Amino acid sequence: MLMRLASLLQDRSDIVTLGAQGLIIDDASRVLLIRHGYRPGWHFPGGGVERGEEIEEALARELFEETGTVIAQPAELIGIYSHFDDYPGDHIVLFLVRHWRRDTVPKPNTEIAEQRFFALDELPEGLAPGAHRRLKEIFDGIAQSSVW
């Protein structure tokens, strides 16, 4: 079903979508990345904002569903990015999450095949280009782009 929806969105330039993603950092300055079961690469956790849902609510819901993470203090807005290369009309809102807890870690499933914390100098092969650019902007100080 997710692949069918993705295919539909690629073909429809009149649909505007919005997603919220979280850059979760632990006490050792490692970042939490996920690997989906339906697309290649490692990504920040997150997902679509539902009709009538506030962006912070969507972020909290998606992070909990995908990783078991509960946001303990408000997340910091990093930026809003166009994601038109993959889906015309798509935008991603990225938040930095420093204060969180996780009582349980969801088992791998068809949506999230794997999740793991990575040190910035040991990032995985297959890191999604957008996630890689964001990490360089935030931690290496390169100029921020408005394109995912």
Q: How far apart are the first and last CA of the chain?
A: 24
Q: For the sheet containing 42-43, what is the strand order?
A: 42-43, 31-36, 112-118
Contact 124, 42 (CB under 8 A): yes
Contacts of 107 (CB under 8 A, 6+ apart): none
Does the annotation count 65 as an active-site position? no
- In the set 114, 122, 125, 137, the catalytic residue is 114
Residue whose entry in the numeric block shows the structure tokens 């280009």: 129
- The residues carrying an active-site annotation are 114
